[in-house]
Amino acid sequence: MTSTNYADVRQGIIDAAMPLFMHKGFNGVGLTELLGAARVPKGSFYHYFGSKEVFGAAVIDSYFERTLARIDDLLAQGATGREGLQNYFEDWRECQLGESSQCLAVKLGAEVSDLSEALRASLHRGVSGITTRLAQCIERGMADGSLPQGLDAKVLAVALYQSWVGASLLAKINHDRAPLDTAMAGTQQVLNQTQQS
C-alpha cells in the first residue's frame, strides 16, 4: 500500500466516524459500527490507529482542522473585524439550528475530558485555535476602527466563545433555538456597546 493510499484510507475512517460521533458521542460508537460505516475490514482498524483513544484524538484533530479553516474564511469575509465576528457567530447559530450540523466540542467535551487526557488535549488545542482567531479578529477591529481601542481581545474572545458553547449546550438540552438567539443578542449588545464606547 502506498503512503497516499494509506493516508486516504485512514482519512476515510476518520470521515466516516465524524457524523457517528456527532450523533452518538465517543463511547456510543462501537468498532463494528464504525468499520461498517467506513467499509474497511475489522482487522484494519489497529493498522491505522493504535487504539480507540488515538483514533478519537485523530477525529477531533481532523474536525478542528476543517473548522479552523472555515473560521478563517468567515472572519476574512468581513470588511472589518467587527463584521468578521458577526459572520462567525451568525454561521454558528445557523449551523447549530440545522439537524446535521453540530459542534463536536459541545458534543464530546463533557463526555471525554475526564476519561482521556489525549482526547481532552485534542479538544483543548482546537478550542484554543478558535479563541486565538477570535482574539485576532477583535484586534483587527480595534485597528480598523470598528471596535474601540483598549479592549482585552483575549478575554473578550474567550468570554464570547464560552457564551456560545453554553448556548449550544442549552439549545440541545431544551430542543429550542432560544439560547442561540439569546447568545446572538448578547453578542450584538457587546459589539454595539464596544462600538459606541
CA–CA dist 102, 168 (Å, integer) = 9
The share of the chain scoring above pLDDT 70, in percent, equals 93
pLDDT at 101: 52
CB neighbour list of residue 64: distance below 8 Å, 6 or more residues apart: 104, 122, 125, 126, 129, 130
Q: Which residue has the higher pLDDT, 109 or 60?
A: 60
pLDDT at 23: 87
Please say if the pLDDT value at position 81 is more than 80: yes
Q: In the structure, what pLDDT confidence band is assigned to residue 197 with cuts at 50, 70 and 90? A: very low
Please say if the pLDDT value at position 94 is more than 90: no
Please say if the pLDDT value at position 56 is more than 50: yes
pLDDT at 88: 96
pLDDT at 100: 47
HSE-up of residue 92 (Cα within 13 Å, Cβ side):
33
HSE-up of residue 141 (Cα within 13 Å, Cβ side):
27
pLDDT at 89: 96
pLDDT at 166: 93
CA–CA dist 102, 111 (Å, integer) = 15
Kindly report, residue by residue over 101-123, the tens digit of the pLDDT: 567 888 888 888 888 999 999 99
Mean pLDDT value across residues 46-60: 90
CA–CA dist 61, 65 (Å, integer) = 6
Q: In the structure, what pLDDT confidence band is assigned to residue 196 with cuts at 50, 70 and 90? A: very low
Residue 1 is classified by DSSP as -
pLDDT at 99: 53
Mean pLDDT value across residues 130-134: 98
Mean pLDDT value across residues 128-150: 95
Tell me how crowded residue 49 is: count the other CB atoms within 10 A of its CB. Answer: 18
Q: In terms of residues, how long is the chain?
A: 197
Please say if the pLDDT value at position 45 is more than 80: yes
Instruction: At 85, list the grid cell.
Output: 465576528
Q: Which residue has the higher pLDDT, 2 or 92?
A: 92
Amino acid at 12: G
Measured in degrees and rounded to the nearest 5, phi and psi for residue 141 equal: -65, -40
Give the mean pLDDT of the chain. Answer: 89
CA–CA dist 109, 90 (Å, integer) = 22
pLDDT at 193: 65
Closest Cα partner for 93 from 8, 167, 19?
167
